[in-house]
Amino acid sequence: MQAASPANAGSVLAVRGSVVDVVFDHHAPAIHTLLRAGPDQSIAIEVLTHTDPWRVRGIALTATQGLARGMPVIDTGMPLRAPVGKTIRARMFNVFGAAIDGLAQPVDLAWRGVHRAPPALASRVTQSEVFTTGIKVIDVLVPLERGGKAGLFGGAGVGKTVLLTEMIHNMVSHHDGVSIFCGIGERCREGEELYREMQDSGVLDNMVMLFAQMNEPPGSRFRVGQAALTMAEYFRDDEQRDVLLLVDNIFRFIQAGAEVSALMGQMPSRLGYQPTLGSELAAFEERIANTTSGAITAIQAVYVPADDFTDPAAVHTFSHLSASIVLSRKLTSEGMYPAIDPLQSSSRMATPGIVGARHYALAQEIRRVLAQYAALRDIIAMLGLEQLAPADRTVVGRARRLQRFLTQPFFTTGQFNGLAGKLVSLEDALDGCERILAGEFDDWPESALYMIGAIGEAVKPTTLEPHHA
């Protein structure tokens, strides 16, 4: 797979976990060169630093069991490479480009180094076009950008992966391009389920999957993102197709970088993160760009440690995104799925010049009503809804109906909750919100608007249930 050139031979000096020191006979290989060691050369080591003209320190991309001092090391003379070509579609790979879906290794592949520069400024294009997802709360309040970068932020268990898989389901079916799913530090169960799901829904033919599981060494988790980008760049630049890049989870990329940094002996910065966090993340994110030949639209899940949005990992990721979708544990506990917090989420596409005056005004009005409800919640909890002024009571009723209308049954969760998934057009979503704000549903029970698609699916019961706050 990776060609070896034994001209520059070396031997292992020291092994400390995933960190390996190697001394060479002639000269130290260049930074990022891939070395092979072990009895059958199955242990891959990437050069990260030079300690003198003959010695290098590298990080192992595979487990180092069986590696001992004095063992021979081969300089491959090239960096870690990823497979590219038409035959990689509908397949699942690991960081080395080896097929892990139980099928034979694809043929007619070209191999490209994973360390590549971002496209030149002259070749980039900036066009603002909305990327519809069929998910009401996203399309109305946090519209995504075609060729932009969107982040799904949330702590553990608030639904990042579910939302990501729903977006794949909705978009891949009507997205005329190639989708690449990159699992960084994934649970193996999630990867296997996603593969079967894509296979069953018939969209696997236009997908490529790469995985570095949670139990793999940090070096492999740190490089799988670059391998996915190399494949995305091939489809964009060589085949001139639009690419949908899904990354789950970008925090695990940062975490793997912190592990590598600590293993290499670098002094950590704030909260134990690597001092190079900003530049490593920027080198990754800047390769996700639109050029004259095609666009890469990226959607990234971002785990937020302990729900703390001031954590350096979340702060640095925020700065690269055109849309930030924030998931709320409070909404999850209330059963509002998807649990997207409209007051914390934002998108640079939500301007009158891009989405249009009607959509913009409606989104602002929805936010205003929900913000007013949030401000009144403490008063309602202490004094009850009856103590509010009639105008405030109307606002609270409409806000609660809006919250319920913005929930949606997902295709990917139908097997668990028995609800058939719904795909809602932007026009239907806007129409429903407009009618709720106009007071058309003020005398309807809130439950009639919960977990439906378009507003026309709401059914008014013959006997009204009592009004709750």
Q: Specify whether 89 is catalytic.
A: no
Q: Specify whether 187 is catalytic.
A: yes
pLDDT tens digit sequence for 199-227: 887 778 889 999 999 999 999 999 999 99
| Average pLDDT rounded to a whole number, residues 148-167 | 90
Question: How many Å apart are CA 299 and CA 151, to the nearest integer?
Answer: 6
DSSP 17: T
Exposure string for 450-465, b = 16+ CB within 10 A, e = fewer? bbbbbbeebeeeeeee
Q: What percent of the chain has pLDDT over 70?
A: 96
Query: β-strands 72-79, 9-16: how paired?
Result: antiparallel
The one catalytic residue among 86, 187, 368, 377:
187
The one catalytic residue among 46, 186, 259, 280:
186
pLDDT tens digit sequence for 166-210: 888 887 766 678 999 999 998 888 888 889 888 887 778 889 999
The one catalytic residue among 91, 112, 136, 160:
160
Q: What is the pTM of this model?
A: 0.89
Cβ-proximal residues to 52 (8 Å cutoff; 6+ apart), any chain = 28
Q: Specify whether 186 is catalytic.
A: yes
